[in-house]
Chain A
Amino acid sequence: MNIKMNEKVLEIINTVLENRTKKKLISIMPEMHLRNDVGFDSLDLAELTVRIEAEYDIDIFEDGIVSVVGEIFKKLENR
């Protein structure tokens, strides 16, 4: 996995968390669940999609199946 991409995705996730006055993460792992582990609700997931799209020009939720961080990495790698 690309370290730069990991850092960028962590930064985006933290922006979303910070905007909701939620606690930021120190690191992310591919197996982390976006809702259960990161603590995202549907509004946060929507914001994450928009922010990733602005950065990488890809809609990670287009086919409706992203539940763990690793799936985001996969989508970005297969771009």
Chain B
Amino acid sequence: MNIFLKDIDSERFVTWDYLINDINNTSIYNPFCKSADYYTVFKHIILSLLLNEEVILLDSDFTHSELINLTGHSKYEKFIKPCENGKLPTLTNKKGLIEKLSTPSEHWKMTLFTSGTTGIPKKVSHDFKSITRFVKVSERNEKSIWGFAYNPTHMAGIQVFFQALLNGNTIIRLFGLSTKVIHNEIKYNGITHISATPTFYRLLLPYDESFPSLERITSGGEKFNEKTFKKVCEMFPNAKITNVYASTEAGTLFASQTDIFILPKKYENLIRFENDELLIHSKLMGRTETNISEWYRTGDLIEIVSKIPLTFRFLSRKSEMINVGGYKVNPLEVEEAILSLTGIKNVRVYSKSNSVLGNIICCEVVTNSSQITESFIRSSLQSKVQEFKIPRMIRIVDEISTTRTGKLKRI
């Protein structure tokens, strides 16, 4: 059977034929997509491409206030519209669908949201070319079976989706499942490809048996420590391991077998280093509302390894964004949310390194009421920000520690 998606968590087992039939029977479209169901998100993206309409992907766990902040709305039913007559082609088979999807109009765009550097998440729009920059369609890839290990509304997940979709592959959901279930899914479905964060691989340990079906493992979003890397190699003995550098703003830019990246020739005039920071030319970027300058400062610091050919390695982030298991958290956004609670006088959000997630969000708060407790702050934040942004250690203090310049100090 020709499977498009298996999602054991929602008991979805969708064939390509079912997907085609489902699309042929669709009569309405809404550019906003907010769903925890992987199939709904994937079908929505496919529909947007066939209809040549914008698709706006919202995380399923965005809170009411986050939605209002980002889109000006929290309910999206009013944006539903009928599909224009004849605009949605009648599909007969998988080959026909993939052919249609491979040649979309230049006007199609996908909009995602990323943690901005100013405290408010920002909107980034991509065209088909920038989203599929790293997609490789070939006969060799036709039989790939993808383990889907990212959030489907985030850039990394979108890229895996397009790689699998345009090659007509099967997608097996792995994200958000327990370790044991993930092991079983890899084994019983014979998964050949996984792209995930080092945190995802780290949490697959320990394992009882290795997984020889894996041909390729891609890792990105944060640094792999050597110990985990070694164990992952043992767990997937036949897999070639690739590191990628990608961002919501630019998509995937570099790939390497080690932690050293070579600057591809085609990017020679589109990538620059300034005070060891990576700068990307606007030609490689998605469109953002604040995208006005020619060069985008990534905030990622690099170290040049050799000059000819130009090779480099990523060291750390210049900006204050905190990487929690591959999710970027802006401490300013979290501070704003905490300060909006009653009884809070001051707050400092900072990161602490952590062996499970790389980093963990912590904070100090000054309150004006003895009633304010750690669990009160945490439960109040649940309706304001996404779960991964909520501090996991909250210290109630009399005074916030500041740096010598008087700025709030982040560790």
Contacts and interface: CB of A to CB of B under 8 A. Distances in A.
B378 A65 contact: no
A45 B375 contact: no
A63 B379 contact: no
Interface string B374-403: 110011001000011000110000000000
A46 B392 contact: yes
B378 A61 contact: no
Contacts of A43: 324-325, 357, 387-388, 392
A74 interface: no
B48 interface: no
Contacts of A11: none
Contacts of A61: 354-356
Interface residues of B, number: 29
B202 A47 contact: no
Chain A interface size, as a band, is 20 to 34
B393 A50 contact: yes
Contact of A50 (B178, B324, B352, B387): B352
A64 B231 contact: yes
Interface string B220-263: 00000001100100000000000000000000000000000000
Given A21-B379, A36-B178, A64 B374 contact: no
A47 B360 contact: yes
B180 interface: yes
A27 to B, nearest CB: 22
Interface in A1-23: 18-21
B392 A50 contact: yes
B355 A62 contact: yes
Contacts of A63: 227
Interface string B168-212: 000000000011100000000000000000010011011000000
Contacts of A67: 179, 206
* B180, B324, B354, B362: residue with the most chain A Cβ atoms closer than 10 Å: B354
Contact of B360 (A36, A50, A65): A50
B327 to A, nearest CB: 10
Interface of B: 178-180, 199, 202-203, 205-206, 227-228, 231, 324-325, 352, 354-357, 360, 362, 374-375, 378-379, 382, 387-388, 392-393
Given A50-B352, A64-B205, 13 more contacts: A19-B392, A20-B378, A35-B178, A35-B179, A36-B180, A45-B356, A46-B354, A46-B356, A49-B354, A50-B360, A51-B393, A61-B355, A61-B356
